[in-house]
Structure 1
Amino acid sequence: MTERSPSLNDPFHFINERQVDNISLEFFYKPHTITALACSIILLFIWAFTRSDSALEKNIWNGLQAVLFMFIMISLICFPNGPFTRPHPALWRIVFGLSVFYLMSLQFLLFQNFNDVKAILRWLDPERLNKMKLEEKEYAVNCSQVNATRIWSQLDIFAAGHFCGWAMKAMLVRHYGICWYISVSWEITEIAFSHLLPNFQECWWDAIILDILLCNGLGIWVGMVVCRKLEMRNYHWESIRQIRGTGGKLKRAALQFTPASWTTVRWMDPNCTYMRIIAVWILVVIWQVTELNTFFIKHIFAIDTSHPLVIFRLFLIALIVAPTIRQYYKYVTDPNCTRVGTQLWVFCAITLTEAILCIKFSRELFAQTQLLLLCIWLLVLLFGTVVCVYLCIAWASRSRKDNSDFQTNNDLNMKKNSLFTTTGTDMTTKNPILQVDMLKCRRRANSQPMEQAD
């Protein structure tokens, strides 16, 4: 009895433990577990015996660094590849390991009190993490004064962050409708939670013109343009050893950091059921909660936006989200995939743990939550999801029908041309008048596809 290949027959294995196809340099893909073990132990041995252990705080810090280092090494050897293989599966194993380590750190903080958490933050950075209250910028000031100068003055580093962030989000989601809906729904989320975070209060032109249309809209457009370029691209990955010249080898090495293949996603299948609506709604809600966690963590623990801790968390979440969305898309669109991916599981655990952490350490703030407003927010997101799904389905069905009609006309024209060139050959060679008529018919038939293409 032959054993089935799990990479070909098991959808879960494809998104959780994808194997590398067409290996060109075997050295970089062979297991080196014994070498990694020897190098790790030697490095830790040298580090432990050459450092000074007189300072308690430095001992704790170096011990935590050693724990993280060894955890990364274990994840590099034991954890699954995930759905991606470029630039190397080892990178995505490390990302998964960092996500697990971050989740374990959140679990530890969950069983501390607020003063202990602040003490840990002050220990990490005594100068910038010792604040008890964060001074946040107010955006809802003089909203009636709208002019080009003031709008231009609002374009700061955060606007660039919005643009780059949405370009990356568009490359992850790869769907205009969902991207625009998430962008609009975030502004609705800010309105729903503005009674808890005054920083969410902003002028209407700031939310609509700067956020939705300018920064988010341009970011979505750029991301989708990149997606189309990658979809139209033919991937022929040569081995570096088969490429002649230094320039060609450097170009192939740079291409290692681009996708090995590109999957065209179809979130809005015309034959979808109510489960597709629920799937998109869950995606939007989890997305909003992840964004909310960023602002609540900053506000509750008084961490400035420019602090490296905030930047590191955003960078880590961005890396985690890439395989997470791929696994979630496979789970909700492939009926043969009956299990969620491990990275998706860990990401959901991180998001929910962060939310619990915020609620625990800011009970007075969340006691002011208007439950009716929260329920309305969830219902609005659900209604918006239904509208978004059905509009996208209608648009996809119409586009598919137009493409089908265009293809049908092209097939008919090709049949006409074939008929003229086969059956009319003997007749036209004997009759010069028929030759002229057949030439006119051919020109007319060849011009029809061009008119429809325009």
Structure 2
Amino acid sequence: MASTRGDLEEEEEHFRFINERAVDDISLEIFYKPHTITLLTVSVLGLLYLAFTRDDDVQEDNIWTGMCLVVFFFLIISILAFPNGPFTRPHPAIWRMVFGLSVFYFMMLLFVLFQNRRDVRKMIEWLYPDLHNTSLVEKEYAVNCSQINLSRIWSHCDVFAFAHFGGWALKALLIRHAGILWTISVMWEVTEVMFAHLLPNFAECWWDSWVLDVLLCNGLGIVVGMYICDKLEMRNYHWESIKDIHSTTGKIRRALLQFTPASWTHVRWLDPYSSYMRCFAVAILIFVWLTSELNTFFLKHIFEIPPAHSINIIRLFLISVISAPSIRQYFIYVTDTRCKRVGTQCWMFCAITFTEAIICVKFGSELFKQTEAMYVIAWFASQLMSSFLCVYLCTIYARRWKWKMFDDLLDEKFFKDKCLQKKMEDSIERTSSAQDLKQGNKYLAERKGYNLRHKGKQYANGHL
């Protein structure tokens, strides 16, 4: 009974660590001390001033002001009540507000879900009057695919090409696994092919999809992102208090470094002895990620919002910010045996993704009536096959190439000189004493057991 209670306490403590991470090495206490009374006083005084000084004769201005104040005070409550999440830089309050924005966006999606398309469109037009009486004009890419020249290729390198590159560099910083990233990149092109009969802009020439998108934009983004990850992993993180820095330049540099990671953990989604559940969890990651990206294009098409409109940019920025702590929490949940629950931010991200998908299906019923069942079945089948193929190949790679590096590291730690091991084995083989032979074999058996235990300990939580 006591051990069970101790395990529960340890589990709860570990969950608080990943969901409510504390700040280490606080240098400026004033920024990390609670100021709840001050915040309450300033908020109430500001609310009192706005309530009695502004002109409330214009109905639209009244609604806008009320909505902005609802969001503002909801973010204040987020700072006071919500968890930090797995990140603390540049300040935990920022990540509490991110979680608050995700909750607010999820509540808004639930409200939209129980309206009809006409009313939702009116709401969007009220928020963005420039969308009134506008129709969506999709750019066609699959035109004269046999005509390939430099001028046409350059015409396809628009702002969306640079967005692809930047987006995949960001994804590499978040996921930090080349195999998973390439799988998502290739599967997204397959997704475009499968849903091209519903979304016209998904139809592209083969060289546009596989050369410009996969190899150039996505590939370069993955390479650059993984390169940055390698550099950040090799960096030695030693933080100095800004109070101990006397030069003005040094203080400014330290203030800017506050917006960089406090540390950079090596990420290992898979290892040579990954369980079936971990492989399944990685497949779920790929599926949810592709679903979230697919929601972007269906929402835009169903509600007739131009691709470059600010509402699309705001949503993409919000999803990107929410996904950062979500992926970190999901990684810990998948790889750490002590973590029994998924983090709250990760839970919220999944809820948002699936709710957006439900909205797309409901309001795009006329569109989805044109769906060809074979394409959808083929998409699901390709998703499953590619996900498990990615997991299998990454595991085989780790099993064949990584163990040699691990053995070298362990041998270097266990034997200061590798030649000593060889001499030890040769001496055992040449010995004529049965007792010495017995002792030598026992020694080698203990060394082998040490290696296995040490490897098992390293892989217990998925980290090297």
Return the TM-score normalized by structure 2.
0.86
Q: CA deviation at 1:335?
A: 2.1
Cα 1:203–1:30 change in 2 (3 A) is same
| Cα distance change, pair 274–416 in 1 and its aligned pair in 2 (3 A) | closer
> How many Å separate the matches in 2 of 1:267 and 1:341?
17
Taking a change above 3 Å as real, the CA distance of residues 90 and 129 of structure 1, as seen in their structure-2 partners, is: farther
- The verdict on how the C-alpha distance between 1:336 and 1:371 changes in structure 2, with shifts beyond 3 A counting, is farther
Match 1:334 to one of 327, 333, 336? 336
Inter-partner Cα distance in structure 2 for 1:254 and 1:126: 39
Q: CA deviation at 1:81?
A: 0.3
Query: After superposition, where does 1:114-133 map in structure 2 within 5 Å?
Result: 114-131=117-134, 133=135
- The equivalent residue for 1:425 is none
Is the CA contact 2:176–2:226 (under 8 Å) kept in the aligned structure 1?
yes
From 20, 24, 35, the equivalent of 1:21 is 24
Q: Kindly indicate whether residue 389 of structure 2 is the aligned counterpart of residue 387 of structure 1.
A: yes
User: Deviation at 1:304?
Assistant: 1.0
Distance 1:279 1:221 in 2: 24
Q: Report Cα offsets for 1:397-424 as digits up to 9, x if no partner.
A: 233233246558878894659x9xxxxx
Counterpart of 2:13?
10
Residue 325 of structure 1 and its aligned partner are, at CA, apart by 0.4
Which residue number corresponds to residue 401 of structure 2?
399
The answer to whether the 8 A contact 1:172-1:322 is kept is yes
Conservation of the 8 A alpha-carbon contact between 2:333 and 2:342: yes
Using the alignment, how far apart are the partners of 1:5 and 1:261 within structure 2?
28
Partner of 2:70: 67
Aligned to 2:264: 262
Q: Are 1:166 and 2:150 counterparts?
A: no
* Count of matched residue positions in the alignment of Structure 1 and Structure 2: 418
CA contact (8 A) 1:7 1:18 kept: no
Q: Cα distance 1:415–1:101, how it changes in 2: closer, same or farther (>3 A)?
A: closer
Match of 1:306 in 2: 308
Bigger CA drift: 30-39 or 375-384? Answer: 375-384
Alignment partner of 1:207 out of 203, 206, 209: 209
Would you say the 8 A contact 1:110–1:357 is kept in 2? yes
Q: Which sections of structure 2, spanning at least 5 residues, go unmatched?
A: 423-464
- Provide the rounded CA distance (Å) in 2 between the counterparts of 1:97 and 1:409: 49
Measure the CA separation in 1 of the matches of 2:6 and 2:14: 16
Matches of 1:95 and 1:290 in 2, distance apart?
A: 18
User: How far 1:3 moved relative to its partner?
Assistant: 9.9
Q: Which moved more, 1:204-213 or 1:269-278?
A: 269-278
> Does the C-alpha gap of structure 1 residues 225 and 122 become closer, same or farther in structure 2, counting only changes over 3 Å?
same
- Taking only the aligned residue pairs, the percentage that are identical comes to 58
CA–CA distance in structure 2, aligned partners of residues 75 and 407 of structure 1: 46
Does the 8 A contact of 2:11 with 2:338 survive in 1? no
Match of 2:376 in 1: 374
Paired residue for 1:107, among 107, 110, 127? 110
Residue correspondence of structure 1 range 171-186 to structure 2 within 5 A: 171-186=173-188
Mapped partners of 2:37, 2:369: distance in 1: 54
2:60 to 54, 57, 60: 57
Q: Distance in 1 between matches of 2:9 and 2:167?
A: 35
Mapped partners of 1:186, 1:54: distance in 2: 50
Whole-angstrom CA distance in 1 between matches of 2:10 and 2:29: 19
Cα distance in 2 for partners of 1:261, 1:345 equals 24
Distance change (3 Å), C-alpha of 1:135 and 1:236 = same
Per the normalisation by structure 1, the TM-score is 0.87
Aligned equivalent of 2:240, options 238, 241, 259: 238
In 2, the alpha carbon distance for the partners of 1:328 and 1:142 equals 44
Distance in 2 of aligned mates of 1:192 and 1:86: 40
Distance 1:123 1:271 in 2: 55
Structure 1, gaps ≥5 residues long? 420-454
Are the counterparts in 2 of residues 6 and 13 from structure 1 also a CA contact under 8 Å? no
What secondary structure, in the 3-state scheme, does the structure 2 residue paired with 1:18 have?
A: coil
Q: Alpha carbons of 1:415 and 1:301: their partners in 2 closer, same or farther (altered >3 Å)? A: closer
SS at match of 2:130: coil
* Matched residue type, 1:70: F
Report the Cα offset of residue 50 of structure 1: 1.3
After superposition, what is the alpha-carbon deviation per residue over 1:187-228, rounded to whole angstroms, capped at 9, x for unaligned? 011111111111100000001111000000010111111111
Matching of residue 95 in structure 1 with residue 98 in structure 2: yes
Residues 174 and 227 of structure 1 are in contact (CA less than 8 Å); yes or no, is this contact kept in structure 2?
yes
Q: Distance in 1 between matches of 2:9 and 2:46?
A: 37
Paired residues of 1:121 and 1:130 also in contact (CA < 8 A): no
| Aligned match of 1:149 | 151
Aligned-partner Cα distance in 2 for 1:277–1:409: 30
Contact kept, 8 Å, 1:118 with 1:130, in 2: the verdict is: no
Indicate conservation of the 8 Å contact 1:8/1:14, yes or no: no
| Aligned-partner residue type, residue 15 of structure 1 | I
CA distance in structure 1 between the aligned counterparts of 2:215 and 2:115, rounded to whole angstroms: 42
**Alignment partner, residue 432 of structure 1:** none
Name the amino acid aligned to 1:195.
H
Residue 359 of structure 2 corresponds to 357
C-alpha distance 397-129 of structure 1, shift in aligned 2 (>3 A): farther
**Contact kept? 2:233, 2:264, Cα under 8 Å:** yes
Cα distance in 1 for partners of 2:310, 2:48 equals 30
Select which of 238, 248, 251 maps to 2:250: 248
The within-5 A match list for 1:315-330 is: 315-330=317-332
Query: Which residue identity is paired with 2:80?
Result: I
Contact 2:411 2:418 in 1 (8 A): no
The DSSP-based 3-state class of the residue aligned with 2:131 is coil
Aligned-pair CA distance for 1:105: 0.9
Q: What is the CA distance between 1:129 and its match in structure 2?
A: 4.5
Query: In the aligned structure 2, how far is the partner of 1:363 from the partner of 1:5?
Result: 47
Q: Name the SS for the 1:127 alignment partner.
A: helix
Q: Aligned partner of 1:320: which letter?
A: I
1:38 aligns with 2:77: no
